[in-house]
């Protein structure tokens, strides 16, 4: 699962953003993670640049956190599921990057971005059979809000009367979804599967989510049924942790995958940037070491958004942790 779902990508003037990034990086080793004596390899120093590329997770470290609709079981009519599934099918990861860029970088409202996308994708066509009131919840971050707006467009085209509601974090909204206080919620397959797994089977339950999307969704469907929920079809769009470098770095070192980076750049000169929890999270720094054998000389405590991306472009860090759907990854 991703390091955060409450991402808030705030547009900051470039000079201010760089100042924040540099302050967060501090001097070498200021994060308290200087290279241990046993770190092998020379590593690769940062290379400043103007654009970012994502290194392919070729060994599948990350779980399948694809967009998926969670629906109250009593509300899960054929027409409702057809509407949310049409939204799912219309998206892929790059299209969701574009939607997030429209909101977080270009400063459009989620409703504006969703309406423009829906027109191009034809979301309001070929749907019918719905009636009655539906409340669509969304989290307090823009991606969730924008997907909820897409659900609204498709559901209204089906004949439902729809309102949107900001419902906060999963611990609050999942019980409301079960009770039917809200009927639809944009979710993430692996994250919801593990949340329901812990709720149903205890906090020490063996994980059910993995990089295998089909297996993750199958596990999620069973857990959802036990909790009064139904899930829609998983979208090709996935919001997961990714590791970015500058295009200039990728070209210089000829790296396209995390395995490439491990072979060429594991070692003391390499600096990882990311959110403060990265050194302790299995899908971040420990996962990079365990799955790929990548070690770093330093870690800089930043975020999974603009600070990390600014530090990459400034040549302050070698590789940065971000999210696969972050609007800052959009080309141009």
- Quick check: 3 and 321 in contact, CB under 8 A? yes
End-of-domain residue from the set 205, 231, 257: 231
Indicate the pTM of the whole model: 0.88
**Claim to verify: residue 34 and residue 182 sit in the same structural domain:** no
pLDDT at position 32: 41
pLDDT tens readout for residues 194-253: 999 999 999 999 999 999 999 999 999 999 999 999 999 999 999 999 999 999 999 999
The domain in which residue 314 lies consists of 14-60+240-329
pLDDT tens readout for residues 128-171: 999 999 999 999 999 999 999 999 999 999 999 999 999 989 99
**Claim to verify: residue 80 and residue 225 sit in the same structural domain:** yes
**Claim to verify: residue 42 and residue 92 sit in the same structural domain:** no
- Quick check: 176 and 166 in contact, CB under 8 A? no
- Domain count for the chain, please give it: 2
In a domain, 179, yes or no: yes
pLDDT above 90 (res 20): no
In a domain, 295, yes or no: yes
**Claim to verify: residue 97 and residue 200 sit in the same structural domain:** yes
**Claim to verify: residue 98 and residue 73 sit in the same structural domain:** yes
Q: What is the sign, positive or negative, of the torsion defined by CA atoms of 315, 321, 322, 324?
A: positive
In a domain, 115, yes or no: yes
pLDDT tens readout for residues 24-67: 333 333 344 454 557 779 999 999 999 999 999 999 999 999 99
Q: What CATH number has the domain bearing residue 281? A: 3.40.190.120
pLDDT tens readout for residues 246-291: 999 999 999 999 999 999 999 999 999 999 999 999 999 999 999 9
pLDDT tens readout for residues 58-105: 999 999 999 999 999 999 999 999 999 999 999 999 999 999 999 999
**Claim to verify: residue 216 and residue 73 sit in the same structural domain:** yes
81 φ/ψ angles, rounded to the nearest 5 degrees: -65, -35
Contacts of 329 (CB under 8 A, 6+ apart): 52, 54, 97, 244, 322
In a domain, 168, yes or no: yes
pLDDT at position 332: 53
pLDDT at position 39: 79
In a domain, 46, yes or no: yes
**Claim to verify: residue 81 and residue 174 sit in the same structural domain:** yes
Q: What is the sign, positive or negative, of the torsion defined by CA atoms of 118, 122, 134, 91?
A: negative
- Identify the helix (H) or strand (E) that includes residue 137: strand 133-138
End-of-domain residue from the set 197, 231, 265: 231
pLDDT at position 38: 72
Q: Which residues pair with 134 in a beta bridge?
A: 162
Contacts of 167 (CB under 8 A, 6+ apart): 137, 138, 139, 173, 176, 182, 185
How are beta strands 67-72 and 267-274 bridged, if at all?
Answer: unpaired
**Claim to verify: residue 102 and residue 216 sit in the same structural domain:** yes
pLDDT at position 29: 34
Task: Please spell the DSSP secondary structure of 302-321, one letter per residue.
Answer: --SSHHHHHHHHTTS-SEEE
- Quick check: 270 and 296 in contact, CB under 8 A? yes
End-of-domain residue from the set 231, 250, 283: 231
**Claim to verify: residue 133 and residue 78 sit in the same structural domain:** yes
**Claim to verify: residue 87 and residue 225 sit in the same structural domain:** yes
């Amino acid at each position: 699962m991703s390091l955060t779902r409450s991402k808030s990508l705030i547009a900051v003037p470039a000079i201010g953003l760089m100042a924040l990034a540099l302050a967060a990086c501090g001097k070498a080793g200021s994060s308290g993670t200087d290279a241990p004596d046993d770190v092998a390899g020379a590593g690769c120093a940062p290379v400043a640049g103007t654009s970012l590329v994502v290194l392919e997770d070729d060994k599948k470290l990350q779980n399948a956190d694809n967009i998926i609709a969670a629906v109250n079981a009593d509300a899960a009519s054929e027409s409702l599921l057809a509407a949310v599934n049409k939204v799912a099918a219309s998206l892929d990861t790059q299209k969701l990057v574009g939607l997030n860029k429209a909101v977080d970088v270009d400063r459009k409202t989620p409703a504006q971005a969703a309406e423009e996308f829906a027109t191009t994708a034809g979301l309001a066509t070929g749907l019918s059979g719905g009636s009655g009131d539906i409340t669509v919840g969304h989290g307090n971050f823009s991606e969730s809000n924008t997907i909820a707006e897409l659900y609204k467009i498709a559901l209204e085209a089906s004949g439902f009367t729809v309102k949107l509601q900001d419902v906060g974090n999963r611990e609050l909204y999942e019980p409301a979804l079960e009770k039917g206080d809200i009927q639809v919620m944009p979710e993430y397959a692996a994250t919801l599967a593990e949340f329901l797994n812990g709720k149903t089977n205890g906090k020490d339950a063996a994980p059910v989510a993995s990089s295998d999307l089909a297996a993750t969704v199958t596990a999620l469907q069973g857990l959802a049924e036990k909790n009064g929920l139904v899930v829609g079809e998983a979208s090709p769009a996935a919001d997961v942790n990714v590791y970015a470098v500058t295009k200039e770095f990728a070209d210089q070192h000829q790296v396209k995958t995390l395995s490439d980076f491990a072979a060429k750049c594991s070692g003391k000169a390499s600096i990882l940037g990311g959110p403060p929890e990265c050194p302790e999270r299995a899908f971040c720094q420990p996962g990079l070491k365990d799955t790929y054998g990548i070690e770093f000389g330093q870690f800089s405590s930043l975020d999974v958004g603009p600070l990390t991306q600014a530090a990459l472009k400034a040549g302050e860090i070698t590789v940065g942790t971000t999210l696969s759907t972050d609007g800052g990854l959009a080309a141009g």
